[in-house]
Chains A and B, each alone.
Chain A
Amino acid sequence: MGAYFLRKLLQSLLLILGVLVLVFMMVRFTGDPVALMVSREATAEQREQIRVSLGLDQPVPVQFVRYLGGLLRGDLGQSLSLGLPNSLLIGQRIGATFELALASLLLSLAIAVPLGIMAGLRPGSGMDWLGRSVGLAGQTIHSVWLAMILILVFAVQLRWLPSFGRDSWQSLILPTLALSLGSIGQIVQLTRSTVLEVRRENFIRTAHAKGMSGQRVAFGHIAPNVAIPLISVISVGFTYALGGSVYIEQVFAWPGLGSLLSNAIGDNDFPLVQSITIFIALFAISVNLITDLLYGVVDPRVRLGR
């Protein structure tokens, strides 16, 4: 148990280091960061000033170590366009994004898991058709487009729900719906194929052969074995919601990390883009780590086997 935890923890730390190096390198080795940050009219002196103030006159390894040190102290640097510390900006926005992602995750799980299980238990049935259609819809209907259609129907035509901002609980509904279709589709497909896989196992055939009723096989034998792999859908749903929030927050003017990121992209605010990305990546890796550890707790095969 301990060895498994330690191994997973180490792997995650290595991944985090890899992400940091990747993002850091990309910014450093793809042309002059200063040229991308200042306007074309800036004089050579102004450029040099920015270079020194950002510590870009130092050797690259020194810059990286400094950067790491800053990260450990919670210093993510300064936003160029807003002139505020990145950590402050992220701190202001993280709550809204977390709220949206959590709402989307809960909605996705509530709809997709039962649907996927029912679809997998009766392949070829109406439920199965519905499950597969929802899975397909998640991969064919773009969330940005869905967001706009939802606004047109529920905010413009019916006037039931607000289409932007984050003022009341009603403002959460449309962004959550738009954000969730993709993850619902993914989770339905994942659940369905997991159920189908378990159904093919020999012990299920044995249970049927013993004369056990279909219902008892479903609840007694299939359900517990499906539950374990399904832990991973939590991280799938969360990662999906975090990624999708970049678009969805933009459409609904939701004051979260996603809209902060798209604004930062628009302003060429590199330090801010970099900080938000790292932050989101760390978040995703942590969620992954937690689900991996949960796996280990629930299923001894995972932590003992290779």
Chain B
Amino acid sequence: MSTVTVPVPRELDIAPRKSRSEGERIVRAFFRSPAAIFGLLVIVLLVVCALFAEQIAPFGPTEGDFGSARLPPAWEQGGTWTHPLGTDRLGWDLLSRIIYGARVSLLVGFFGALLAGTLGVTLGVLAGYFGGWIDTVISSFVNLILSVPYLVLVVVIATIFGRSLLNVILIFGVTGSPVFVRLVRGEVLRLRALDYVEAARSLGAKPARIIRLHLLPNLIGPLITLATYEMSAMIFYESGLSFLGLSVPPEVPSWGNLLAIAQPLLRTFPWLAIFPGLAIALTALAMHLVGDRLRDVLDPRLRESE
């Protein structure tokens, strides 16, 4: 059977387009939640810290003198406001190191999630749209990655491939992709059976066009939400890897490295452990609050019940 390709006139293009008012509505709805605003403020603060650490931090990450070593936080007895959160054994300023630590966390979170998302969307679309053996291969890969405890997988890969920021991002990108694959594959399977996609196909639209104009726009909402959660999870896992000495080198200030340094000194200098952990918790909390709100305002099904 031969197929006749008919050029699709512009007016017949039935791709859904979001009007400007839709975007405005989403932004307005987002800012109606105080929790989401708080989360967003924390994230903005972190990004500013990461970008301008040199200007903001009172000291360099490895700048210190033994004279001011082992100082407690300023409000404790013996503390000084020169080092608000105290210092470690070498006189390194804890606040400055936490500010510099935001760099590692945000880099890993942002690029890890970006890579995982890109990889996951590509594989998910391929598996969902084309099915057959492509789907089998991709789904097996996903099952393989998901069947091994995530932490163990990351630990092994980091041990073998070496310890660097780039490797950590690559590891998280690959091991984080299955959740994106599952989401995208499922949605594509559901959407491609819908009438409007069928209509586009009968008008002669090529797969690439259908995917780009008719499938992907529907996925943007859930993908942004998932990416926010994944970013938070990756920041979480990076600090775990750092703690085990599997991420950036020990002299680089990352929140997990700070926890690792603090562990043997826990009884004598508890503040060294408390504040980096607080930074991790605050970051993860902020991203979850933003993610929860995004999920609510971006999902049309939840919108109706509002």
Contacts and interface: CB of A to CB of B under 8 A. Distances in A.
| Interface hub of B148, B270, B273 (most chain A Cβ within 10 A) | B148
A104 to B, nearest CB: 13
Given A139-B236, A140-B285, A145-B259, A265 B147 contact: no
A148 B244 contact: no
A142 B263 CA distance: 14
A40 to B, nearest CB: 15
Contacts, number: 124
Secondary structure of the A contact surface, majority rule: helix
A17 B244 CA distance: 28
A277 B240 contact: no
A280 B157 contact: no
Interface string A142-154: 1011001101100
B6 to A, nearest CB: 37
A276 B152 CA distance: 9
A24 to B, nearest CB: 11
Given A19-B147, A242-B149, A284-B148, A139 B284 contact: yes
Contacts of A277: 148, 152-153, 155-156
Nearest to B163: A265
Contact of A148 (B150, B157, B262, B285): B262
Given A18-B140, A148-B259, A148-B262, A284 B244 contact: no
Contacts of B243: 144, 247, 250
Nearest to A242: B149
Contacts of A281: 147-149, 152
B202 interface: no
B152 A246 contact: yes
Interface size class of B (residues with CB under 8 A): 35 or more
A145 B148 contact: no
Contact of B159 (A19, A149, A151, A273): A273
Interface string B262-292: 1100110010011011001100110010000
Interface string A243-281: 110110011000000000110011010100110010011
A136 interface: yes
B151 A15 contact: no
A144 B276 CA distance: 11
Interface string A228-245: 000000000001101110
B277 A149 contact: yes
B251 to A, nearest CB: 17
A142 B236 contact: yes
B84 to A, nearest CB: 20
Contact of A246 (B236, B244, B245): B244
A142 B281 contact: yes
Given A27-B160, A145-B277, A265-B159, A140 B288 contact: yes
A149 B155 contact: no
B239 interface: yes
A156 interface: yes
Given A26-B156, A142-B259, A265-B155, 5 more contacts: A18-B140, A145-B277, A242-B152, A266-B245, A273-B159
Interface of B: 140, 143-144, 147-153, 155-157, 159-161, 232-233, 236, 239-240, 243-246, 256, 259, 262-263, 266-267, 270, 273-274, 276-277, 280-281, 284-285, 288
Interface of A: 14-15, 18-19, 22-23, 26-27, 30, 136, 139-142, 144-145, 148-149, 151-152, 156, 239-240, 242-244, 246-247, 250-251, 261-262, 265-266, 268, 270, 273-274, 277, 280-281, 284-285, 288
11 contacts: A18-B144, A30-B160, A140-B232, A140-B285, A144-B277, A145-B277, A246-B244, A261-B155, A265-B245, A274-B156, A281-B149
